A and B are shown apart, each in its own frame.
Chain A
Amino acid sequence: MANIMYWEAIQRAHDEEMARDPLVICMGEDIGVAGGTYKATKGLYEKYGPLRVMDTPISEGGFTGLGIGASFLGVRPVIEIMSVNFAWLAMDQMFNSAAKVRYMSGGQLTAPCVFRSAGGAAHQLGAQHSARMEKVFMGIAGLRVVTPSNPKQAYGLLKSAIRCDDPVFINEHELMYNMKGEVPDGEYFHPLEGSDVARAGTDVTLFGYNVSVHWCLKAAEILDKQYGISAEVVDLYSLSPLDRAGIKASVSKTHRAVIAEEDEAPVGVGSEVIAIINEECFFELDAAPVRVHSALVPQPYNHTLEKAAIPDHEDVVKAVLKLFGKA
């Protein structure tokens, strides 16, 4: 086990897959000579050259479509969109081409490409650089969506995504690239489907994904130490498809659910998880499920307003206490 950073884990997955298969390529803005905004492709340009590590123009719609087109012929592009906010410009190709081509060709064509992007809100990047867009991607038939919450997942999910014949969107997080964690020394393929129990518990399930897994873990710690509440934390690293069985199993055990998301609430991960709970195990519930989420505002620049707009572990604790009638 090596203790490495999230970006290093992503870099390693790229490197191993590129070394193995000459048709694995990567493309994106400033990923080659500059080594990537978050260093996720560091050193690859020097090792694999400009034909396979492509510094693209600022043409998100264009280069995303180009990568998808190449994937029709078996190339496996890993397409980095520098920030998820810029993915709006690429969505036409992702959704209308990559996600649908297998279906509308009756299985003749497929788009085995990977889209990676830095999601999440960082610090004070303002309204046009702070969008969280998981909800947009996870509602598209034909597109898989995963979101790593630690270096091991970042490594293993990218490895699996590159090998998978379906298009996969990987939602990373701007604030997590320097986070450290254990990654297996040998090759490791994280499942693209399912969920992880990040901490076992009996009284309430805290559902999180990506950064909110960490709020949930921190909240679980506080709930245990200060309030004697045993919280289970479920890491929904696969947002599409969501793990119905995993959600059902945990709620059937704890009978209470809180869903923590960095995104705004409407049409989001929380609404979807609650719908699944209703469909799968409504009668197991002891209390109505609760969402912890951002305020429905374009992200403010001002630091204080920004903090007020985005939840954290304390909001998760508060929601749980309320659920137990303790606040």
Chain B
Amino acid sequence: MKIEDKKRVLREMVLHRRFEERCYQAYIERKIGGFLHLYPGQEACCNGVMEAARPGHDYVITGYRDHVHAIKCGADPKEVMAELYGKETGSSKGRGGSMHIFDAAHHFMGGYALVGGPFPLAAGIAKAIQLKGGDEIAICFLGDAANNQGVFHETLNMAALWKLPVLFVCENNLYGIGTSIERSTAVVHQHKRVAAYNIPADECDGQDIDIVYEHARKAVDHVRAGNGPFFLELMTYRYRGHSMSDSRGYRSREEEEVWKQRDPILMLRDRLITAGALTMAEFETLEKETDAYIENEVVKFSEESPEPRVEDLEKYVFAERETQLPWLTGKAA
């Protein structure tokens, strides 16, 4: 990555971190309801991979920990926050909520709440790309524990069989809710599980954005060149609990501290400072500006936006009826 790009990515990652922390606060204030899964600690994964790919062009799909992926693809943070507030201006019109951010215009194909559900959807998106002859690729971001669903294996087989342009990114944060990977999975290093399907796989540090970027570039290039699927495993850590009701009794504070020593944002910051491309004062200003933007624009927009109307409860269940009449009534000319 060029130094200018690194500075931009730092700015983005700070936004991603502060956005999530602000969500936490809004949840405590009961502005946000339901489940809320936050991303702090894992920022280098999404950012590193998407810097190597083409955000807004390549298709991205993921699970319920989806705010940052959506924003990275180009979703407006205002609309993402408004979605969490359940507002009509939200990215899913307030119907979806935190686990279901969508932004089709930016090829962000959604957050899904069933663990493993996106695997075959990603392969299907890749199938469509293949059929239509585009140069996009499909990127599926999921957690480590999702690989224990049978559909993981079913999807790998089909993706390899049909050489589908799909990149599977496994964000291995060592836990599925409160169960550590050693206790749920016979193989800790997930890329090993892929070998049986003749899919090339790679693993790297998911905290260092430069490392993620280098590995992701090879992965993305492989898929875009028409060589079929690729599996990239990123070793990472989520700082907060799985969702809001998690007091993290299943892991030690010491373990958390060890990971926080290698914070993706601070590592990039320090590297830029060492390179003379950034000063500490500039970084602090950046943080302040980010907070101000979140408060004055993102949160304000969400607070002030209208709720969906109750009359529209059944909107979006089906296609607009008038547009489907020939088929609904059998009166196609």
Contact = CB atoms under 8 A, between A and B. Distances in A.
Interface of A: 29-30, 33-34, 55-62, 85-86, 88-89, 123-129, 295-298, 300-305, 308-309
A30 B184 CA distance: 10
Given A89-B149, A308-B310, A33 B99 contact: no
Interface centre among A56, A62, A126, A298 (most CB of B within 10 A): A126
B183 to A, nearest CB: 6
Nearest to A57: B148
Contacts, number: 121
B35 A33 contact: no
Contacts of A58: 115-116, 145-146, 148-149, 176, 184
B308 interface: yes
The prevalent SS among residues of B at the interface is loop
Interface residues of B, number: 40
Given A129-B99, A296-B317, A305 B94 contact: yes
A30 B180 CA distance: 10
Contacts of B113: 85, 126, 128-129
Given A33-B179, A55-B179, 20 more contacts: A30-B177, A33-B250, A34-B250, A57-B185, A58-B184, A62-B148, A125-B97, A127-B100, A129-B35, A296-B317, A297-B317, A301-B34, A301-B86, A302-B86, A302-B87, A302-B308, A303-B33, A304-B307, A308-B310, A308-B313
Contacts of B74: none
A34 B100 contact: no
B67 to A, nearest CB: 14
B328 interface: no
Given A34-B250, A58-B115, A305-B313, A300 B307 contact: no
Contacts of B176: 29, 57-58
A62 B86 CA distance: 36
A311 to B, nearest CB: 13
A304 B178 contact: no
18 contacts: A29-B176, A30-B178, A33-B250, A34-B249, A55-B179, A55-B183, A88-B114, A124-B97, A126-B96, A128-B99, A128-B112, A129-B34, A296-B317, A301-B100, A302-B97, A302-B307, A305-B94, A308-B313
Nearest to A61: B150
Main secondary structure of the interface of A (DSSP, over half): loop
B314 interface: yes
Given A128-B112, A309-B313, A302 B94 contact: yes
Interface string B139-159: 000000110111000000000
A124 B150 contact: no
A94 to B, nearest CB: 15
Nearest to B92: A301
Contact of A301 (B96, B149, B184, B317): B96
Contacts of B86: 124, 301-304
B95 interface: yes
A126 B34 CA distance: 7
A75 B32 CA distance: 44
Contacts of B99: 126, 128-129
